[in-house]
Structure 1
Amino acid sequence: MSWPQSDRSYIACVIFIDRTNACNYWSTVNAGRWTNLATSVRDGTRFRVLAVWDTRQYYRAMGRMEF
């Protein structure tokens, strides 16, 4: 995992919760742009998206969404 070089971006991954509790891989997401985190996902697949923003300085934000 490498941290984005801009404070206008963050990293995110998809966790397919019926199969694993680990991220598939990390992607850089730029603010204001659409990004594919996973492709060819079957209908009905349960997953979580983990998004992490870290300035490498004083604070960090993390969010998790379940679908």
Structure 2
Amino acid sequence: MQEIEKAKIELTALREKIDYHNYRYYILDDPEVSDAEYDHLLQRLLHIENKYPELIVPESPSQG
């Protein structure tokens, strides 16, 4: 599998996780992860998107 394909898969998973944790934090006021864990997910997402800007989509947490 090519690197960009791996990046697509990881980005999809990261976006889903971040969206889920945003919902838990902002809507339910019941976070499941620490701020540090959340920040790690977001930083990983940003790292991949910076490496592969063609994979950035409007609904990405980085675009909000």
Indicate whether the TM-score tops 0.5: no
- TM category, shorter: under 0.3
User: What is the TM-score when the length of structure 2 is the normalising length?
Assistant: 0.22
Higher strand share: 1
Greater share of helix residues, 1 or 2?
2
Higher relative contact order (CA 8 A, sep 6+): 2
